[in-house]
Amino acid sequence: MPDFYRSSYIDNSETDSDLTVDSEEEDSFRKNTLILCEIFHPSLHGFTRESDKTVLGHFLVIGPADLTHENTSVSVFSAVQNMLSNIRCVMERYPDHPQIRNYKKLILRDDYIRPEIAECILLKGDEKVAILKTVWLRIVQRAWKKIFQERCRIRSQRMTIYSIGWRQIHGTWPKTCAYMPTIHGMLSGLKQ
- Kindly report, residue by residue over 113-133, the tens digit of the pLDDT: 777 787 787 777 777 777 777
Domain count, the chain: 2
Same domain (yes/no): 46, 105: yes
pTM comes to 0.47
Same domain (yes/no): 127, 96: yes
- Kindly report, residue by residue over 145-185, the tens digit of the pLDDT: 999 999 999 999 999 999 999 999 999 999 999 999 988 87
Same domain (yes/no): 128, 145: no
| Distance from C-alpha of 100 to C-alpha of 67, rounded to nearest angstrom | 31
What is the band of 83 on the pLDDT scale with cuts at 50, 70, 90? low
pLDDT of residue 170: 95
Same domain (yes/no): 183, 97: no
Same domain (yes/no): 12, 62: yes
Same domain (yes/no): 68, 48: yes
Please report, to the nearest 10 degrees, the dihedral formed by the alpha carbons of residues 55, 43, 108, 119 taken in order.
Answer: 20
Containing structural domain, residue 159 = 141-192
Same domain (yes/no): 21, 111: yes
